[in-house]
Amino acid sequence: MIYLNPAPIAPPNATRPICWSINCAGILVTSSLCRNILKNSFFSNRHENTNRLGEYMGRKIWFLTGNIGKVEEAREHLTPLGYEVSQLIVPKDAIIEPQSDSITDVAMAKIEQAKSHLPSGDNSKDMLMIEDAGLFIDSLSGFPGVYSSYVHQTIGCEGIIKLLSHLTTEDSVRLASLRSAEFRAVTVLWDDGEVYVGNGKCPGYISTSIVEGNGFGYDPIFVPYDLDSAGDSLSAGEYGEVSTHGSPFGGVEITTKKKFSHRSRALNDLFNQLPSA
C-alpha cells in the first residue's frame, strides 16, 4: 500500500455491517464474533440493549479526531449508555493516510496506527474509535470521496458547482438524478483485538447554487432526499415525512440536519454489532 502525507482532517457532520479481527500474524481477517445481535435500532431500544451490553458499561472510548464537534456528537449517543468518550490527540503527522478510494480502508489503516497512541498503549482495556466520511458524487465517479476535505480546502463548494455546471434541467426530479450524490461515513471501533466497522449514508444531490447559513463543508450544496416515517431515505422525487423541501443542509436548522445524519447511522450500525454480555 502506498502512503502519502496526511490529508486534512474532515469536518464533523447503512450498508451491510463488516467486522474484522487481528490474527497472530497481525493480519486483518473477518471475525466470526461479528454478528448483528440486535434486530432493531440500538438507540430505539436503549434499555434492553444496555442490559445486553453490560460488560461494556463504564468503559472509556478514545475518539481519534481533531474536531471536537465529532466528539460531542458521539457523546450525545454514548454517554447515556454508560460510555465515557474522550478525545484522543496525537502528534502532527503521527497518522499517515493511505492512498485509497475506500473510506473503510482509510479508517482501518488509521486505527492500526493509532493503537500505539492510546494512553496505556496496545494493552489498554480502553476502546479506540475513528470516523471517516466523504461526499461521493455519482457523475464524477465518486469524486471527491476520500479526498473530500482536501478538495473542499482547494476548490470549495464553488468548484464542485462548476464541475457539474453541464448537468442541469428544469425538471426537478431529473435534476436530482443527474446530480445525485451521497454522504458516506464509516466508524471503526477497536476493542482489545476486535475491530468493528459501522457504516452510514445520506443520499441526495448537489444543488445548482450555494446556500450559506448553518453547517459546514459541503452542506451549502448538498440536498438530502426525503425520509419516510421509519427514518429511511427515499428516492429522488418521492415525498416523505421528513424533508428539507429542496433546500441544502446549509439552509436548514441543525436539528433538522441531524435527522439525516450519516454519522449517526454509522454509530447505530456499529453498536448494533457488539456481542452480547
Pairing of strands 127-137, 60-64: parallel
Backbone angles phi, psi at 110, to 5 degrees: -65, -40
Mind spelling out the 3-state secondary structure of the chain?
Answer: CCECCCCCCCCCCCCCCEEEEECCCCCEEECCCCCCCCCCCCCCCHHHHHHHCHHHCCCEEEEECCCHHHHHHHHHHHHHHCCEEEEECCCCCCCCCECCCCHHHHHHHHHHHHHHHCCCHHHCCCEEEEEEEEEEEHHHCCCEECCHHHHHHHCHHHHHHHHCCCCCCCCHHHHHHHCEEEEEEEEEEEECCEEEEEEEEEEEEECCCCCCCCCCCCHHHEEECCECCCCCECCCCCCCCECCCCCCHHHCCHHHHHCCCHHHHHHHHHHCCCCCC
CA separation, residue 47 to residues 50, 51, 82, 122 (Å):
5, 7, 11, 32
Pairing of strands 18-22, 194-206: antiparallel
Catalytic residue numbers read 132
In this structure, which amino acid lies at residue 26? G
Residue found by looking up cell 464537534 in the block: 69
Measured distance CA(181)–CA(139) in Å, rounded: 8
